[in-house]
């Protein structure tokens, strides 16, 4: 029992150290200073209403084409939330756009479409964009926000920093927009591919169909094994 407790404590301390180390390395990142700038300017709004013009034009440190999401809110915690989530989302946006550019959709449109679906919608896979955005909403943003709140000189309560359901709404809209646009492009290319080489197109479809049947056969076989052993190894099958 003592060994289990000691092991659990060691794992917890290792995790805490890893998180603290990751956070302590972050202050050098350019986006952190932009978030702090948003907070500092937002805190002036209660004194000078003209400051609202300033916060609307803070450049996104990761994408010069955009301004940082630092809009009018009643509480400073909300400024912190939207600006932190914005830069973390931008990090993923850049990866998404890089991935989309790398897709071989002109040569293998069907494979590209399959890959696109996996990258965008397999929410349980750590390498999927769905998982990346979701992680920002549920964990990553909160960790950074608490750290920034401690550094900020204004009165921000870390108790009011929590997950917001609107974060999921935003990232799902992002995913859907990216996916819909590229699905149309790839679908159009698929039609061209079929028109240019019907034989190649049908061969590819046939090969993928064979792969699907093979996997389905294995799956059905496993189900039969489970079904055969279910009643004999289960006391109460009901």
Q: Tally the residues of the chain.
A: 238
> What does DSSP assign to residue 126?
T
- From the centroid of its chain, how far is CA 94? 12
CA dihedral 22, 24, 30, 33 (to 10 degrees): 130
- Indicate the burial class of 72 (C-beta count within 10 angstroms; 0-12, 13-18, 19 or more): exposed
Question: For a pLDDT cut of 90, what percent of the chain falls above it?
Answer: 7
Which one of 19-28, 62-71, 85-94, 203-212 scores highest in mean pLDDT? 85-94
Q: Write down the pLDDT at residue 50.
A: 56
Q: Write down the pLDDT at residue 7.
A: 42
CA dihedral 140, 145, 147, 151 (to 10 degrees): 160
Please tell me which residue, 185 or 146, carries the higher pLDDT value. Answer: 146
Q: Beta-carbon neighbour count of residue 168 at 10 Å? A: 14
In the structure, how many helices (H) and strands (E) does the chain have?
9, 0
C-alpha torsion sign, points 114, 116, 122, 128: positive
**92, pLDDT greater than 90:** yes
With CA atoms as reference, report the closest residue to 103 among 186, 26, 18: 186
pLDDT in tens, 41-76: 777 765 555 555 556 678 888 888 888 888 777 778
- From the centroid of its chain, how far is CA 13? 27
Instruction: Note if the pTM is more than 0.75.
Output: no
Three-class DSSP category at 8: helix
Average pLDDT over residues 94-115: 78
Please tell me which residue, 8 or 204, carries the higher pLDDT value. Answer: 204
DSSP string computed for 32-84: HHHHHHHHHHHTTTTT-TTHHHHHTTPBPTT-TTSB------SSHHHHHHHHH
Average pLDDT over residues 102-121: 76
* 67 phi/psi in degrees, rounded to 5: -95, 150
| Average pLDDT of the chain, as a whole number | 72
| Encoded tokens for 72 | 């009018």
| Alpha-carbon gap, residue 42 to 171, rounded angstroms | 25
């Amino acid at each position: 029992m003592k060994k289990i407790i000691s092991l659990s404590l060691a794992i917890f301390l290792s995790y805490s150290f890893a998180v603290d180390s990751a956070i302590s390395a972050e202050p050098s990142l350019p986006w952190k200073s932009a978030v702090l700038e948003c907070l500092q300017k937002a805190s002036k709004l209660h004194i000078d209403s003209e400051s609202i013009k300033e916060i609307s034009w803070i450049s996104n440190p990761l994408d010069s084409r955009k301004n940082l999401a630092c809009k009018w809110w009643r509480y400073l915690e909300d400024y912190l939330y939207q600006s932190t989530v914005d830069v973390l989302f931008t990090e993923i946006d850049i990866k998404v756009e890089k991935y989309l550019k790398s897709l071989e959709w002109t040569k293998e449109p069907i494979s590209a479409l399959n890959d696109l679906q996996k990258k965008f919608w397999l929410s349980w896979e750590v390498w999927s964009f769905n998982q990346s955005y979701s992680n920002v909403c549920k964990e990553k943003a909160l960790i950074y926000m608490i750290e920034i709140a401690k550094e900020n000189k204004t009165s921000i309560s870390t108790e009011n920093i929590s997950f917001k359901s609107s974060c999921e709404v935003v990232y799902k809209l992002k995913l859907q927009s990216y996916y819909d646009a590229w699905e149309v492009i790839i679908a159009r290319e698929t039609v061209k591919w079929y028109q240019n080489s019907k034989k190649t197109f049908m061969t590819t479809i046939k090969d993928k169909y064979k792969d699907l049947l093979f996997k389905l056969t294995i799956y059905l076989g496993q189900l039969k094994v489970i079904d055969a052993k279910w009643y004999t190894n289960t006391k109460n099958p009901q």
